[in-house]
Amino acid sequence: MTLAGIFIAGGLGAMLRFWVGNVITAKSKGLSLPIGIVTVNILGALGLGIFTGLHGTNASASLIIGTGFFGAFTTFSTFSVESVQLLLAKRVMESILYIALTICGSLLAFWCGWTIAT
């Protein structure tokens, strides 16, 4: 049952990531950073922080929501690709800003979510 839940939650998280990323990217034309992925990663970290801060004791729910939904909603692989693409295009300062925004923003968002929930 848990595996099916992870499968369904992962599908929902991936679809939501695709939709949110595309909406943000479309609304931010002209920005030199891939702001759609920054946004979904920070939102995902915030959501996972809230979920984690609620101290759920149900292991299956933690796997389904934490690993399934939030694991699929956020994307380290796309973040990595876009960081390297910026570097390869010799857009070093933009790459550094993108990496800093994603990492620091996600950590701060997780902490804020966890703090709100606890």
At 45, the amino acid letter reads: A
- For residues 82, 87, 90, 91, the Cα torsion angle rounded to the nearest 10 degrees is 60
Residues 103 and 75: their CA atoms lie apart, in Å, by: 12
Question: How many helices (DSSP H) and strands (DSSP E) are in the chain?
Answer: 6, 0
Is 113 marked as binding a ligand? Answer: no
Is 71 marked as binding a ligand? Answer: yes
Q: Which of 116, 113, 108 is nearest to 49 (CA)?
A: 113
Q: Give yes or no for a contact between 18 and 37, defined as CB atoms under 8 angstroms apart.
A: no
Binding positions for Na(+): 71, 74
Binding positions: 71, 74
